[in-house]
Structure 1
Amino acid sequence: MKKLILILISVWITAVSCSSEKTEKLTYEVSSVLKDSIPSLKIRASFKADPTGFTRLFFQDNAWGQEKLYDCLSDLKLVSEHGSIVQKRDSNLIEITHPKDLKEIVFEYTLTQDTKGPINTETTYRPVIQPEYFHLYSHNMFMLPRHLAEDKSELFDVQINWDLPEGHAVHNSFGSNERVQKISDIDEERFHSAVFTGGDFRIHPIEIENNKVYLASRGDWIAFKDKDMVDLLSKTIRAQRNFWNDHSQEYFTVTMIPFPQENGSSFQGTGLTNSFATSISNNDLIQVEGLAMLFNHELMHNWIGHSIYISKEEQHYWFSEGFTDYYTIKNISKNRILDKDEAFFIQEINNIIRLLYTSPVKDAPNSEINYDNFWSSRDYEKLPYRRGALFAFYLDLKIQRESDGEHSLDDLMRDFLKNAVEEDKRIDHSYFIEMANKYLKEDLKPFFEEHMVEGKLFDLGAIFDENGLEYKNGAKAFYKGYKIDPETHKVVSLDESSNAYKAGMRIGDRVVYRSVYSNPDIEAEFKVVRDKKEIELKFYPAKEVDIPQLLITDTNKKQLQ
């Protein structure tokens, strides 16, 4: 027996030893420095050397819509040994030549912000390093040995030692205010899909079912206070996790940075590992309601599109984006986020109807929502959002009606999550129809093929009638009525029946200022130059269209509870 125990212990030690040897460890030391009086970050990386004497590091020159990220790099040098370093931008590689007997490379480089002036929606995706703070995405911060970047299945350990001024926050996708961070068993995709911030960020902890959630914010916000965002974030995450019966995520953070913008408002966000990073224009035109929509849509992607996978991206955006849009407005209204109720839900459904039914590609088949069209055309980009959201609304009503209120689309969505987690099921057309049919009295396939595949518009009047919903025909839809050349800024075409023409706009006018929201109820403002004279124009970018719209009545609100 003793001999058997010793053998088992030996096997266990060997297994542990082999396991530890297989997991590569990377160490980074990050410190604040000044380079030519410009605030920068110096990063010292330690990792295993390639025994061939030739080690390649992966660092993208072009990523996430940004080009020439190598312009942010300087002072590349080997600390451990003599050798040569070559930057190969086209290959996204840093090549290091070193002695073959070198066991570990200690490599140092400096990151500096390469853009001047205030940040904006474009530059926030580049390294932002200011005297007061820094905000970077890990793919343009931390270099990785090439084999770890190429083998997506290989896991490694990371330790990050932060050497920052006392009082500066350290906050990122993996932890909050940890000066020594240890990240275990991570792959390249998760490690390079993260946000790292530091400096004057205000860190607000939120606890939801014993799990840690944080809001990291900085700057002096004009339209709201941090408390408003903490409350919004807390209600949103709690409501979504309750909906999915999923409180498994132990750590999650949202980061917010402001940027100046005089006219209009804009905000953008990126879903990342354990996190969501957003940048927002800081003026009094930003609306908290818009941020609620942003948070609810993007955080819902933790399940729809992430846990519940789709098999082909563009061909199934009607699900990953359209159903996410539908559950964005449903989640807000059902949980009374920002005190919104069924009236808000009806308004948003009406808005989706207007936008879809006035789109120039409203009846394009699903096959035309391909990579080229989606990423080059705003109309094609938004088509699956709107068509998918209306399909989700239709299916939700149908399941509820045919089950006498016993079931809803919610049950089908939870089935998708369960099957994705337990059986690795992915959404495609046949699987979706098969699962939906379990809650329906008749086959969904003919309807799905006609409307979701071929692109025929829904008969909204018939759908509203069969569900006992009150509606009217006629709506005010967003309509510009003009086209402006992006290079000359001149009006090149103009609908003479449009409000723009009626307000005085003419072909040939050179636009020197404009403020236009994609909302028919918000007045557009223009300044144009004609015959060397500046003319101010104001009008509502709208036109009447014959489209069914739900009424905000007690009957409808009760039906849509």
Structure 2
Amino acid sequence: MKYILFISFYLPFILLANNKLQYNIYYNTPLAKEGLKVELTFTHDKPQDSTELYLVNRSWGEQNLLNSIVLNKEDNGGFHCYKKADKFKLVFYHPKSKKVKLTYRIVQDYNDNSYDIFNRPRIRNEYFQVLGHSFFAVPFHFAGGYDNPLLNITIHWIGFPKDFKIHNSFGTEQSTQHLKIHLWDELYHSLFAGGDYRIYHFKVQNYPVYFAIRGKWLNGFTDSLLLHNLQTSVQAQRDFWKDYKARYYTIFMAPTVTNTDSSFRGHSNTGSGLANGYMIQATNNPFNDINSYKYMLYHEMMHSWTGGKIQNKYEELNYWFSEGFTDYYTYKNRLRSGDVIFKDWLESFNQEVIKPHFKNPYKNISNYVLKDSFWLSRNIEKVPYRRGALFAFWLDNQIILKSNYTKSLDDLMRDILKECTVKKLKFTDDLFLTAVEKYLEKGVAYFFQKHVLAGIDIDFKNEQWIEGFEFNIQDSIPLLKASKQPNYIF
């Protein structure tokens, strides 16, 4: 799961009580050339002859996002406007007034779809896909510093053809949207899409779940197959948490690059959690892998809780939990739902978690160094996923043993969810360690410091495991063996 990059410099904003913003978004042809025209109207607290708007320039592994913003004098009555990328803002000069109307355009700033571009605005003639932090410029004086201000937003979609679907993190096929949403974790953590998407929906506990998909997928990736697996995963995840309160939830799926031949041998995908859902982007070719798709479903949906309702306080420092425990439950919930059998679960946990972790040259990097290095390489990025998953597996076993097979990590996870949501707390290491003490009398503070924060390998061979589990060393790598499928944990 990816997160908005919070800017480290001080923003001298003055929070307004109403924070009303109106965005008129215009369709022009050809869309790929003209871009999405955004007309923003708002009110200053006193007359001004210039306005600064905040817009993210660096986030989710992408740099120079303001390159996708076009400012034209012609769109703004001939008045001067420019970008200050180093300050993450757009600057407009205009007639002195309280009420201000400003216009900018969003374009695609690269030529074609790419294997390694996921989070830049995509605007083609047949569709668009733009993350909220690249779409909606917000006046500095509305943003409220590092707080999470509630914004009162109206969006009008103007001139779009009837068959051009409009779908986003807050609604589907609405020409006008009235939203009261928070800036950082909702508006700037959302996706807005439109065009040749096919939109399906089903209900869980009477609440809708939407599936927006585009592209002609190969290798048996039919809409019905993908939708069926999505339904199974949604039900399994909500059953695990015993949480059915999502009134609106949506999944987006779009191809990055489509090859009908074997010029790209393999399947590459990525997923990102969003407000009220998540998105999947993947290569589309004859090597499409349904197992990778299923993994992505379970992993990204888990982030609705671990990273969503249970929000990290210190982002990358807490990725051992929000990514690692998510990864552990990706495998565990797939097994529990019947998506995989135990033999396949065991094989995948060894081959996809344990082996890659112990072969990773950065596996022993400390959590504090990892914080500042996370986005630098794929190997570093995967450390908290696998280190956290292995720690979750160890902790699951210890709780089961300590409780004589009456409790598991599942109970601890639901406790943490309740603690964070009821008390409106953010997740921290201290919150986690305090919650563990309910299940393990001596706690795990020293073990946690040594193996999670310092990054020293767990001695899997000599730890205690539930009945049926043991570890054998092969080529210096501890691999999990099971004499039988445990009845309680799985």
Contact 2:31 2:123 in 1 (8 A): no
Contact 1:78 1:105 in 2 (8 A): no
* Structure showing greater Rg: 1
Q: Deviations over 1:50-73 (max 9, x none)?
A: 513222222344444334444434
Q: 1:135 aligns with which of 122, 129, 137?
A: 129
- 1:77 is displaced (CA, Å) by 4.2
- 1:287 is displaced (CA, Å) by 0.9
Q: Deviations over 1:311-335 (max 9, x none)?
A: 4333332222211111110010001
Q: 1:68 and 1:451 mapped to 2: Cα distance?
A: 37
Structural mapping, 1:81-96, within 5 Å: 83-96=79-92
Contact 1:78 1:108 in 2 (8 A): no
Do the aligned partners of residues 403 and 414 (structure 1) sit closer, same or farther apart at CA in structure 2, a change above 3 Å counting? same
Q: 2:396 and 2:365 mapped to 1: Cα distance?
A: 24
Amino acid at match of 2:344: F
Q: 1:424 and 1:36 mapped to 2: Cα distance?
A: 43
SS in 2 for 1:109: strand
Q: 2:67 and 2:368 mapped to 1: Cα distance?
A: 40
Query: Partner residue of 2:3?
Result: none
SS in 1 for 2:226: helix
Do the aligned partners of residues 401 and 183 (structure 1) sit closer, same or farther apart at CA in structure 2, a change above 3 Å counting? same
Deviates more, 1:54-63 or 1:252-261: 54-63
Q: 2:308 aligns with which of 306, 309, 322?
A: 306
1:556 aligns with 2:488: no
1:28 aligns with 2:23: yes
Amino acid at match of 2:180: S
Amino acid at match of 1:195: L
Deviates more, 1:107-116 or 1:73-82: 73-82
Contact 2:57 2:63 in 1 (8 A): yes
1:199 aligns with 2:195: yes
Do the aligned partners of residues 55 and 285 (structure 1) sit closer, same or farther apart at CA in structure 2, a change above 3 Å counting? same
Q: 2:298 and 2:178 mapped to 1: Cα distance?
A: 30
SS in 2 for 1:357: helix
- 1:185 is displaced (CA, Å) by 4.3
Contact 1:127 1:136 in 2 (8 A): yes
Q: 1:289 and 1:390 mapped to 2: Cα distance?
A: 21
Q: 1:254 and 1:36 mapped to 2: Cα distance?
A: 24
Query: Partner residue of 1:482?
Result: none
- 1:191 is displaced (CA, Å) by 1.1
Query: Partner residue of 1:489?
Result: none
Query: Partner residue of 2:170?
Result: 174
Amino acid at match of 2:359: T
- 1:416 is displaced (CA, Å) by 0.7
Contact 2:71 2:81 in 1 (8 A): no
Structural mapping, 1:208-357, within 5 Å: 208-223=204-219, 224-258=221-255, 259-261=257-259, 262-263=263-264, 264-337=266-339, 340-351=340-351, 352-357=353-358
Deviates more, 1:328-337 or 1:435-444: 435-444
TM norm structure 1 = 0.76
Do the aligned partners of residues 90 and 460 (structure 1) sit closer, same or farther apart at CA in structure 2, a change above 3 Å counting? closer
Do the aligned partners of residues 310 and 86 (structure 1) sit closer, same or farther apart at CA in structure 2, a change above 3 Å counting? closer
Contact 1:39 1:131 in 2 (8 A): no
SS in 1 for 2:463: helix
Contact 1:31 1:42 in 2 (8 A): yes
Deviates more, 1:221-230 or 1:68-77: 68-77
Query: Partner residue of 1:445?
Result: 445
SS in 1 for 2:279: strand
Contact 2:19 2:142 in 1 (8 A): no
Amino acid at match of 2:110: T
Structural mapping, 1:410-429, within 5 Å: 410-429=410-429
Structural mapping, 1:115-134, within 5 Å: 115-117=110-112, 119-134=113-128
Q: 1:214 and 1:124 mapped to 2: Cα distance?
A: 21
Do the aligned partners of residues 430 and 385 (structure 1) sit closer, same or farther apart at CA in structure 2, a change above 3 Å counting? same
Q: Deviations over 1:144-193 (max 9, x none)?
A: 21222353433221111112012111101110001111112432542122
- 1:470 is displaced (CA, Å) by 5.1
- 1:80 is displaced (CA, Å) by 8.0
Contact 1:469 1:550 in 2 (8 A): no
1:144 aligns with 2:146: no
Structural mapping, 1:345-424, within 5 Å: 345-351=345-351, 352-372=353-373, 374-424=374-424
TM norm structure 2 = 0.87
Do the aligned partners of residues 402 and 260 (structure 1) sit closer, same or farther apart at CA in structure 2, a change above 3 Å counting? same
CA RMSD between the two structures: 2.6
Q: Deviations over 1:348-372 (max 9, x none)?
A: 3322222233333444444443313
Contact 1:61 1:67 in 2 (8 A): yes
Do the aligned partners of residues 127 and 440 (structure 1) sit closer, same or farther apart at CA in structure 2, a change above 3 Å counting? closer
Contact 2:328 2:392 in 1 (8 A): yes
Q: 1:434 and 1:211 mapped to 2: Cα distance?
A: 34
Deviates more, 1:210-219 or 1:432-441: 432-441
Q: 1:378 and 1:62 mapped to 2: Cα distance?
A: 18
Amino acid at match of 1:183: L
SS in 1 for 2:485: helix
Query: Partner residue of 1:490?
Result: none
Structural mapping, 1:489-504, within 5 Å: none
Query: Partner residue of 1:106?
Result: 101
- 1:279 is displaced (CA, Å) by 1.4
